Structure 1
Amino acid sequence: MTVTAFDFGPAEVYIIRYPGVLPDPGVLEALAALVADSTVRLLDILVVSRAVDGAVSVLEIDDLPTDGALGEVTLDARGLAGNDDVDSIADGLTPGMSAAIAVIELLWAKNLAERFSESGGELLETVRVPAPELNELAAAAHIK
């Protein structure tokens, strides 16, 4: 049997809109904890902001406060969140709003993806059900 080793496992791109310039410290702390636990690997992150006057700015990880909740994180695939992503997201931001674009590798799923591949399996599709939607579905079905 041939062992398949991927450089990267499955990854997801999260685009989160919020008021102000920097994400809430609690969000950054949660992300840092997942990275520290080797549950995920942060491949890239950008913050796109639209000022009250309409000007757009982009902050990369080097521009984020180093004493912040994210701590010292190294990006393993800087540049995955490209200019097309930034332009598209900036167009949808109203003044005073920002969006974080985070490319997050799912380390917990990497081993599973390698085993599927080496066994001849072929991934046909993945579907992510957002937490708010799943909770609504569960409540409607009276599942606790």
Structure 2
Amino acid sequence: MIGGMEHLPSTEAAVTALRALADVHEREMEVTHDIGADRTSRRTAAGVGVTVDPDGSLPHEAHVEFGGLPRVRVRLYPDDDALIDVEGVECHDIPRDEVPGFLRSVFGGLAYVRARRFPPGYFLIVPLPGDRAHKEFLPLIALTPWLSAHVR
């Protein structure tokens, strides 16, 4: 489902949803996969040569990079969450099911930077389905040309 909230039961389902989103927004997309407890970033305690989780499953992590502006990278973790980097601003712990909605807002021009006068600061605001928004603080020195062009 491209329009609303979808349930993405696996990393591969999330990658498929992101491919559809890239097609809609005419963006190139590059994907790399890390499969196995010895290859995924959150399984460092798995031990040498251990590739499966205790339940026998193979954890699957994907790294997605989109072409164009804004620069967007997504790391889909096997634990049903993601790290989304928009122009160097890292948005941690985004539920995997919310990743497509988050990116639709970014690619669709709904995301913006809010300036605060006192104390001075900037926040990346990404509207999400259901009248919610993700808000991420960013330091002044992190304002790229794309972020600066979207300050309100």
Q: Quick check: which has more Rg, 1 or 2?
A: 1
TM-score (norm 1): 0.30
Which structure's residues are more often strand, by fraction? 2
> Larger relative contact order (C-alpha < 8 A, sep ≥ 6)?
1
Which structure's residues are more often helix, by fraction? 1
